Structure 1
């Protein structure tokens, strides 16, 4: 099934919210009874059951969404958790808002500002033209605050500890199937704002050590040309295809996704020298004081970082930027407005969410049965 995740809640919190309702529901009561009967003769299971204080339903999700993000969160229950890894490799559709003029340590508006840049020269046409270089099969550099592994350690752990990566982050291939401008918003016509907090000098210094000077392209007048990395080194993703366990609840399964652990505040590099030509641009007039923003719609393959696109696109138009809003509108066959349960429905009781969840689970089981029949045929 799929749940419409609201903002300001983590993906794991959504599971913790719905799990108690599933535990006591009429919908899953037959499953509980069957599981208890199946394990009744197993003394080891009885001890585990008693130690945990009860029998909990197993639940997990098929790809993390940032706390600030909303949209499709795929949820597996019971044996359905074994199929969650299939959703990491499917295509996904997003709507993201990019706010120009400043970069943060997280590439989004939840972080601290590490650099500012001019934006008065930006227009919709400028952005439209720059999008051409981001369509199709491209190379993308993952952000430091990802769960990718370098020498067996997650990259965000290096950043959190203030340590340098043992080797440079290299670009990797991704595919952008569709990418378009949905709406151009002039400064003063929208409510998106920069975060209030600025990164301290130590954070900015650590940024350069961790990532280098990638933001220099915002000042070099070269339209953000992506520079090839010279080495063949590559980051390593989690090798295990099964779920990454929640340390607070062994029955909750979480799978790493494109934007894993976005709450980790990690540094970006500082932009180019403040004495550059772009930094010395004529100050904005009062009418230009508010930064513009653009809403983008995209369909991408697995492993794509939306926040990296926002960061790179802002560079490509001679500015800086941050992701200020994100909606995952589709993942695989689940799409907002079609077959996704609104999170608020779970607050209204099983009589409201029960029929919707039952229908989704039935559809999924029928698809699995049809797929198995095709394989056997």
Structure 2
């Protein structure tokens, strides 16, 4: 790799990590912390000596004193893709990535609605999907493009009168008022791939009990008496349900799961997210397409270094450090 000119060490910076599906964003940050907190690239020599041979705590004052690290927008465990990481003074720039433009690829599986709007949740309603065609999906996308009003899922941590929305749903407490819609911008929305029945996705096996459905309906009836979570008569999981992939570029604060959920309703069906990839967050991307784009570091680089950092190059950096150096953005402490 070509040499990269670095300012005085240690540095503050931003870089992107390709998060895999499965782990939480916080667990990824904690694993990365174990490496960066032992690197002369990010930590003063005096602190490195004190931390030698010790496990780096994931939180607490000692952890913050040793290295400041954070992420610029959580991804759900199901999701993979761009996770922006800030080191040192770079953590002060992470808020810039909460409201920036983001790009996603998401697979919708029709015929089944879940409490969380994705495959991590439990089935709450099934509905017909056989009538949905590629052409109908493409036509329906128009109403979800541009500046739209979006209602967050009831199974979310957002609070109403001090109570998380999911508590209303779980305990059967009527919502005191409708969930407040948010104004978001969908810059682009297109059908990226029509899978039809050519896939291996299936509805979640876990389903809501009768009592759980009644509790959720009670919560929702506080604002809409017409809501029903009854399964559509005659709908079964015997046939392989239709799936398709959407590509979207959206503003900060947009719920991709809600777009999938609302689109399925507009198609006269039900649906939920089975895959979600964040391909862009601001200038950090999986595949660069613009001059200012910065490609993310594959998770395998950190994963392999955790078990074996390997030898150093002629400038004294290990493979994982070199990979980060090639992709990081230095944050000027004077700005």
Q: Per the shorter chain, which TM-score range?
A: 0.7 to 0.9
Alignment partner of 1:83: what SS?
A: helix
CA distance in 2, matches of 1:191, 1:293: 10
Of 110, 117, 139, the match for 2:120: 110
Gapped regions of structure 2 (runs ≥ 5): 1-14, 51-59, 289-294, 310-317
Equivalent residue, structure 1, for 2:78: 68
Counterparts of residues 41-52 of structure 1 (less than 5 Å):
52=62
Structure possessing the higher relative contact order (Cα contacts under 8 Å, 6 or more residues apart): 1
Preserved CA contact (<8 Å) 1:213 1:270: no
Structure 1 residue 280 displacement after superposition: 4.9
**1:91 corresponds to which residue?**
101
* TM score, norm. by length of structure 1: 0.71
Is 1:306–2:264 an aligned residue pair? no
Pairwise CA distance, 1:203: 1.3
Other-structure match for 1:39: none
Cα deviation digits, residues 320-351 of structure 1 (max 9, x gap): 01111100000000000341011110133351
| Residue equivalent to 1:265 | none
Is the contact made by 2:194 and 2:245 (CA closer than 8 Å) also made in structure 1? yes
2-structure distance, mates of 1:302, 1:124: 28
Alpha-carbon separation, structure 1, partners of 2:208 and 2:128: 19
Q: 1:341 aligns with which of 297, 309, 312?
A: 297
User: Hey, what's the Cα distance between the residues in 1 that align with 2:263 and 2:278?
Assistant: 19
Deviation digits for residues 5-40 of structure 1 (CA, Å, limit 9, x no counterpart) = 001100000011111111112322337659x9xxxx
Partner of 1:197: 206
Aligned partner of 2:4 in structure 1 is: none
Shift of 1:213: 9.6
TM (norm. structure 2) is 0.79
Bigger helix share: 1
Cα deviation digits, residues 104-126 of structure 1 (max 9, x gap) = 11111111111110111111001
| Aligned match of 1:290 | 240
Instruction: Kindly report which structure 2 residues correspond to 1:132-147, keeping only aligned pairs within 5 A, or say none.
Output: 132-147=142-157
Q: 1:97: how far off?
A: 0.3
Structure-1 residue corresponding to 2:160:
150
Aligned residues: 294
| Maintained 8 Å contact 1:215/1:315 | no
Q: How far apart are the structure 1 equivalents of 2:160 and 2:236?
A: 42
> Offset of 1:193 from its aligned partner?
0.9
- Whole-angstrom CA distance in 1 between matches of 2:79 and 2:87: 23
Listed one character per residue, the Cα deviations across residues 278-297 of structure 1 (whole Å, up to 9, x for unaligned) are: x457x7898xx211111000
Residue 329 of structure 1 corresponds to 279
Give the drift of 1:162. 5.0
CA drift of 1:302 comes to 1.1
Q: Give a deviation string over 1:196-219, Cα, whole Å, max 9, x none.
A: 1111112111211223499999xx
Unaligned residue ranges in structure 1 (runs of 5+): 37-49, 218-268, 373-377
Q: Deviations over 1:112-160 (max 9, x none)?
A: 1111101111110011111110011111111123333322443335445
